Structure 1
């Protein structure tokens, strides 16, 4: 009896772990370009930014020297229909908050993928975000964030 309960418990755990892997959303490759006058510091503040860092396959560099680029991959784990990258960089008082999201939307007749990008500047920063590529088969995408 105890062996049967143990086997059921192991099977249930394996099913949960397996379903978690199947729930992964598409990955986003983030390309951050520091076109500013000095080093840009990666500085996550809110829960979305912290979650993004925890989903990174390789962590973003803590600091990106002026004129350099950092690239990393974020693999969403919450839903196959949504994924995101929320990052924040700081150069002195200048701050850029970047975000890019993927959402599978439903219409009456079809499911349609949608990719969104946004850059919010403060402290005199100039920030740009653009989606530079999309894989229509896997829905993975590459977004470029530029700070000046």
Structure 2
């Protein structure tokens, strides 16, 4: 019984440490503004890990005029989080990304930074917009494609 109590206490400690070290969550909305179905294509390790840890996960296909939602929270550092997704419509591709990083400036001043990117290929039109940032450094981003 004593060993079981120690094991449970150790597990709780590890889980709490993960919560403490997690970066702020990002809410990702992908909107298909095209006239054909968009298909999720995981080409990089960052895209694959985004999909694996997302809760809920983004849809693997998105009909024209529809959208999908994902929430991503990495348990690496309280000062970093990111999400990367890639969707294709026929030969068009959009690679999307968003990153949060807490920067430490001279004098130990901390400054939060949120970035977003939308990289088109094959004639795609892509956009990425940060739609909200929170006092807890959480943020929301909208990715669109056509």
Asked whether the two chains share a fold, i.e. TM above 0.5, the reply is yes
Query: In the alignment, which of 10, 32, 35 is matched to residue 34 of structure 1?
Result: 32
SS of residue in 1 equivalent to 2:137: coil
- For residues 34 and 144 of structure 2, the distance between their equivalents in structure 1, rounded to whole angstroms, comes to 9
Aligned counterparts, 1:1-148, within 5 A:
10-109=8-107, 110-135=109-134, 137-148=135-146
- For residues 4 and 130 of structure 1, the distance between their equivalents in structure 2, rounded to whole angstroms, comes to 53
SS of residue in 1 equivalent to 2:106: coil
8 Å contact kept, 1:97–1:119: yes
- C-alpha RMSD of the superposition: 1.6
The structure-2 alpha-carbon separation of the partners of 1:14 and 1:119, relative to structure 1 and needing over 3 Å to count, comes to same
Deviations 1:30-87 (A, max 9, x none): 1111111200001112110111112211111111101111122112221110000100
Q: How many residues align?
A: 145
- For residues 38 and 64 of structure 2, the distance between their equivalents in structure 1, rounded to whole angstroms, comes to 7
- For residues 71 and 2 of structure 2, the distance between their equivalents in structure 1, rounded to whole angstroms, comes to 42
Q: Give ranges in structure 1 of 5+ residues lacking alignment.
A: none
The structure-2 alpha-carbon separation of the partners of 1:70 and 1:5, relative to structure 1 and needing over 3 Å to count, comes to closer
Q: TM-score normalised to the size of structure 2? A: 0.91
- For residues 2 and 131 of structure 2, the distance between their equivalents in structure 1, rounded to whole angstroms, comes to 53
